[in-house]
Chain A
Amino acid sequence: MPPRKPGTLLPLEADILIAAVLERRGGQATFHGFGLARVIQEQYGSRSLTAHGTLYKALNRLEDLGLLTSDWEDPAQAVAGRPRRRLYQLTAQGMHIADRVRADRTAGRIPRFAPETA
């Protein structure tokens, strides 16, 4: 696999940000791993769900970049018999970047989280 260009996002990372911002505008402030995989699958009409390793590695990276935050679901609010979910949320910077990513996609550019250096 070719090395990633500095400041750019992988397609899945861009998909996550776009799905997250659409969910947020639809009134869903937080999201979890499987829910996100399902949204991405339906949004892009994929036959299969995103692989576990790929999905959680991408979420970790977006969190490291400060575009997402996450925390464990409050046990009091979790449904009985279901494992607690890790809930993710877009940060203010994440919202800003997600909008830019959508614009980059529309314009056919590689999505970036940092401006290109000359």
Chain B
Amino acid sequence: MRTPPTRRAAHLAIWWARCYTRRLPDPVAERRLGELRSDLHDHITDDQARGTADWRIALSVMSRMARGLPADAVWRSRIRPWTGDVLKSFAAILAAGLALAAVGVLAILYGSGDDSPGLVLIGILLIIGAFIIGVRTGHRRGRSVDHRRNTRHP
């Protein structure tokens, strides 16, 4: 049975995929989401079979997601360029995420230079938090834009 950190990381990865596949043709979006669901399942079960700690699996999932963000954005823009409201949502994600991530990176750098493992951990948590907050901000904005559009064109 999967423990919460792993499940949360997998949910976050799927949630991010839903964000960047929003308004893409259904077959394209479903294919990417299906591949990701399968990948996450295989990743988690494989690592669990190897006896990897749950928090480490969750970090590995988060790391794969975070390192792939630029490629996701490029892939999305090649299929359907970011425009108008979608672009604003994406900018909101980046702005909120980058600001907190910068603080996190500084904490890690200062913490490692000063031999303060606690500070490094805080830095890592800030970066993870930055990402979650940024993504949620973008999601809420996207939903309100959708709502306004539906109200305008029922």
Across-interface contacts of A50 in B (CB, < 8 A) = 64
Given A48-B63, A52-B13, A83-B41; A33-B71 close (CB under 8 Å): no
A48's closest neighbor in chain B, by CB?
Answer: B63
Residue from B17, B43, B70, B72 in contact with A49 in the complex, judged by beta carbons closer than 8 Å:
B43
Q: Is A105 in contact with chain B by the CB < 8 A criterion?
A: no
| A37: chain B residues within 8 A (beta carbon) | 39, 43
B: contact size bracket: 20 to 34
B75/A83 in contact, CB under 8 A: no
B115 contacts chain A at the CB level, 8 A cutoff? no
Subset of 11 A-B contacts with CB under 8 Å: A32-B38, A33-B39, A33-B42, A49-B64, A51-B65, A51-B66, A51-B71, A53-B67, A82-B41, A82-B42, A86-B34
Q: Which residues of A come within 8 Å of B, CB atoms?
A: 32-35, 37-38, 48-57, 60, 72, 82-86
Given contacts A51-B66, A86-B31, 10 further A-B contacts (CB under 8 A): A33-B42, A34-B39, A34-B42, A51-B67, A52-B17, A52-B65, A53-B68, A56-B32, A82-B45, A84-B38
